[in-house]
Amino acid sequence: MFGMVIGALAQLALGRSGTRIDWGMALASGLAGSFVGGLLVSILAGDGLTLRPSGVIGSIVGALIVSAVWLRLDPAKAAEARRDRRR
């Protein structure tokens, strides 16, 4: 549940409409984002490349990165996100 909420927040921050959240993408980006955020925190802390889950802030940052990459690689979702931002 935590991953879905974080992923949904990332989609909203990237400009998706609140009624058009892709919940599958929210779950995947929220869970993967937690580990991406943990990796970034470990690099910044000087711990090396340690893959570990992170807290709320690290998860949101990671989910933003994962969602942005996902939208960039999926042309259909990128077009939908652009349409949502124009509304």
In this predicted model, what pLDDT tens digit does every residue of 13-58 receive, in sequence order? 887 655 678 888 899 999 999 889 888 888 888 877 777 777 888 8
H helices of 2-45, in order, are: 2-13, 23-45
Task: Determine the pLDDT at residue 86.
Answer: 64
Q: How many domains does the structure of the chain reveal?
A: 1
Q: Could you tell me the pTM of the whole model? A: 0.73
Residues whose CB is less than 8 angstroms from the CB of residue 2 and which lie 6 or more positions away in sequence, other chains included? 30, 59
Range of the domain at 25: 2-86
